[in-house]
Amino acid sequence: MRKTITPIIASAFTICLLHFSAPESSAAWGSALSLDGVNDYASVPDNNSLDLGTADGQGFTIEAWFYVPDLNGEGLQTLIYKQSAYALFINFHTSQADQMFFRLWSLALPAPGYVTLFANPTDLSIGWHHAAAVFDNQPGGGNDTAAVYLDGSRIGLGTGLNFNPGIGNSASPLYIGAYAGVNPFHGWIDEVRLSDVVRYSGTSYSVPTAPFVSDANTRALWHFDEPAGSTSFGDSSANGNTLTGFNGAQTGNPSPAVPPYLTNPLKLADGPFQFAFTNSPGAPFTVLAATNLTLPLSNWTALGGVTEVSPGRFQFTDPQATNTARRFYRIYSP
């Protein structure tokens, strides 16, 4: 979805608020889990349904949709984590390609007791992405494989692994978005599914185009479709794995219902340019800028998030606006 906002001309330099943009396709079918990247997370206590790949010959898949709100992330961020069992991370970078990795633990392994599959580095763009990690546990051990998938392609493959009988059977809770606040994810997470079967194989796969439906192999499935502000997230599988949000992790609607309504664009006395707009309370926005409006979106610079100064009223200030004679802006939302 793309909506046009009226261009604005300011004295001394030209400021054009060109577009409100949203991805052509979105993973957020309704609401999603909102995480601030500070210490938010959700977790559920351990139970047998969350112990994946522990038996001989039992493979599994962990997967989620996640939203990258800007290109300023630096460092390790967590999607799914079960200490001493399995984990899926993203290592974000601003000066080099980002990298996903999949970790598997086992008491039978030498110190440090885990193996890590580092996927091929890839630049993650602003927007929604689907990620999956699979462990194919072959009977008898010695020829197990692991793989990481992103947006339709396999980006990491590990072969010749030897987990016998399987990975660690951990008593740790399951965490989404951070390990008890450590290495927190900044953005949105949706449609988290754990399965006791290998759901993706080969070098490519069809990216899901609808919410997951629980089946006989679903160990846990969270749609995060609760009302905005909820901190308890129901499990759509038959296993009752209700997640609880901590430190502000809550559901929200990542897609505004209407285009922003622009108000009060002005050049401040000391030079920065500031504008405000109204929209749905809690909706996330990122401001992108360029000096050439014909550049592809991937070449626009992410200036950062927008401050919600009061419910439904958003404000952004660009202190670098006077460094160029002309600057174009996009307001981008999931």
DSSP 8-state assignment for residue 206: P
> Has this prediction a pTM greater than 0.85?
no
pLDDT at residue 7, as a whole number = 35
- Asked if the domains at 2-22+255-332 and 32-252 fall in one CATH topology, the answer is no
Domain extents in the chain:
2-22+255-332, 32-252
pLDDT at 193: 98
2-4 and 313-318 beta bridge pairing: unpaired
Q: Are strands 13-21 and 326-332 parallel, antiparallel or unpaired?
A: parallel
79 phi, psi to nearest 5 deg? -95, -60
Fold observed for domain 32-252? Jelly Rolls (2.60.120)
Token pair of 208 as six digits: 């899901």
Measured distance CA(274)–CA(259) in Å, rounded:
19
The tokens for 22 are 């949203």
Contacts of residue 7, defined as CB under 8 A and 6 or more positions apart, other chains included, come to 16, 17, 18
Does residue 324 contact residue 291 with C-beta atoms inside 8 Å?
yes
The string of pLDDT tens digits covering residues 183-210 is 999 999 999 999 999 999 999 999 998 9
pLDDT score, position 334: 59
- Count of H helices and E strands in the chain? 0, 26
- Residues in the chain predicted with pLDDT less than 70, given as ranges, are 1-28, 141, 255-259, 333-334
Q: What is the β-pairing status of strands 174-176 and 41-44?
A: antiparallel
| Fold topology of 2-22+255-332 | Immunoglobulin-like (2.60.40)
In degrees and rounded to multiples of 5, residue 203 shows phi and psi of -90, -10
Report the distance separating Cα 207 and Cα 22, nearest Å.
19
pLDDT tens, position by position, 92-113:
999 999 999 999 999 888 889 9
Other C-beta atoms lying within 10 Å of the C-beta of residue 1: 12
Q: How is 52-107 classified by DSSP, letter by letter?
A: -S-STT--EEEEEEEEE--S---EEEEEEEETTTEEEEEEE-SSS-BEEEEEEE-T
How, if at all, do strands 127-136 and 114-118 pair? unpaired
